[in-house]
Structure 1
Amino acid sequence: MPTAARFVAALCLAVLAWVVSEQIKPLFDEDKAFGNFNLINFVIAVAVGWQVIGSRAGRGLSAAINNGLTGGIVLVFWCLLAHSAIRMFEISMRGRYGGAFEAFSAIFEMMVENRILIATPLIIGALVIGSVASGVIAEMTNKRAS
């Protein structure tokens, strides 16, 4: 059921994903083509904000903080998984993997590599503050709309 809290949570997390995506780009090699990097993260963030944060709004401030942090962690997981799967598909189209299991396990190897790369204080801080703010704003919206 669409609610104002779900909409606001999706919007807040999507803005956070876009900002963090821009912060992540300088961490990669200069010749990396990002393509739809921001857009993919934006769409994932809308879905996570709607489902994880927005659906749990209305349970109080401490729950809102926890919901926001949970949303941020889920966002990072799904974005890492999506981009690693896309990269694995690109590599597999060049015939670089020996089989399906090797290609599948490469997704998780790339997730770990990228997680280590983006684990900087600036990115972690932005994700924590932004996701907590998303949870609290969704909670405030739920109280206003009720």
Structure 2
Amino acid sequence: MPTAARLMAAVCLAALAYVLSSIVVPLMPESTDFGIFFPLNSVLGFGVGWFVMGRRAGRGTTAAINNGLTGVFVLLLWGVMVQAINEMVRRAMLNRYDNAFEAMVAIFQLGAEYAYLIAVVPMGIAAVIGAVIAGLMTEYADNHWK
């Protein structure tokens, strides 16, 4: 059911996903083609905000901060995995894998590489601050627009 808290969480995480994506761009090699990187991550943020954070709103300030941290963790997890799957499919179309099992293993290898690549201090600071703000704004929306 649509609520103000779900909408607020979705918009906050979509915006945060865009900000975090802009932090990731300089970390990647210069030859990287980002394609739909920003819109895809923003859509993921919107979905995570709507389905994960929005339904858990209304439990108090501490729970709101925890909700924001959980939402951002899920966003980062899904973002890394979706980008790893995207890269695996791109490589598979170039016949880089001998069989399907090798391609499936590559998803986790690429995901681990991407997670290691984005594990930098500015990314962590932006993620934590954004998580707290998103959680508190979601709680505010739930309390004031029922």
Same fold (TM over 0.5): yes
Corresponding residue for residue 145 of structure 1: 145
- Where 2:98 maps in the other structure, the secondary structure is coil
Q: Note the C-alpha offset of 1:28.
A: 0.6
Could you list the structure 1 runs, at least 4 aligned residues long, displaced by more than 4 angstroms after superposition.
none
Partner Cα distance (1:91, 1:66) in 2: 37
Q: Which runs of 5+ in 2 are unaligned?
A: none
Partner Cα distance (2:101, 2:27) in 1: 29
Partner Cα distance (1:45, 1:138) in 2: 14
After the TM superposition, which residues 1-146 of structure 1 pair with which residues of structure 2 at under 5 Å, given as runs?
1-146=1-146
Partner Cα distance (1:53, 1:127) in 2: 15
Q: Which runs of 5+ in 1 are unaligned?
A: none
Letter in 2 for 1:100: A
Task: State, as a whole percentage, how many aligned pairs show the same letter.
Answer: 46
Partner Cα distance (1:108, 1:33) in 2: 21
Q: Note the C-alpha offset of 1:31.
A: 1.0
Partner Cα distance (2:71, 2:59) in 1: 15
- Where 2:32 maps in the other structure, the secondary structure is coil
Q: TM-score, normalised by structure 2?
A: 0.98
After superposition, what is the alpha-carbon deviation per residue over 1:11-50, rounded to whole angstroms, capped at 9, x for unaligned? 0010000011011100011111100000110000000000
- Where 1:96 maps in the other structure, the secondary structure is coil
Partner Cα distance (1:39, 1:66) in 2: 26
Q: TM-score, normalised by structure 1?
A: 0.98
Q: Note the C-alpha offset of 1:143.
A: 0.4
Letter in 2 for 1:139: E
Partner Cα distance (2:23, 2:38) in 1: 11
Letter in 2 for 1:30: E
Partner Cα distance (1:129, 1:69) in 2: 9
Q: Note the C-alpha offset of 1:98.
A: 1.4
* RMSD (CA atoms): 0.6
Q: Note the C-alpha offset of 1:128.
A: 1.0
After superposition, what is the alpha-carbon deviation per residue over 1:115-135, rounded to whole angstroms, capped at 9, x for unaligned? 010000000110111012101
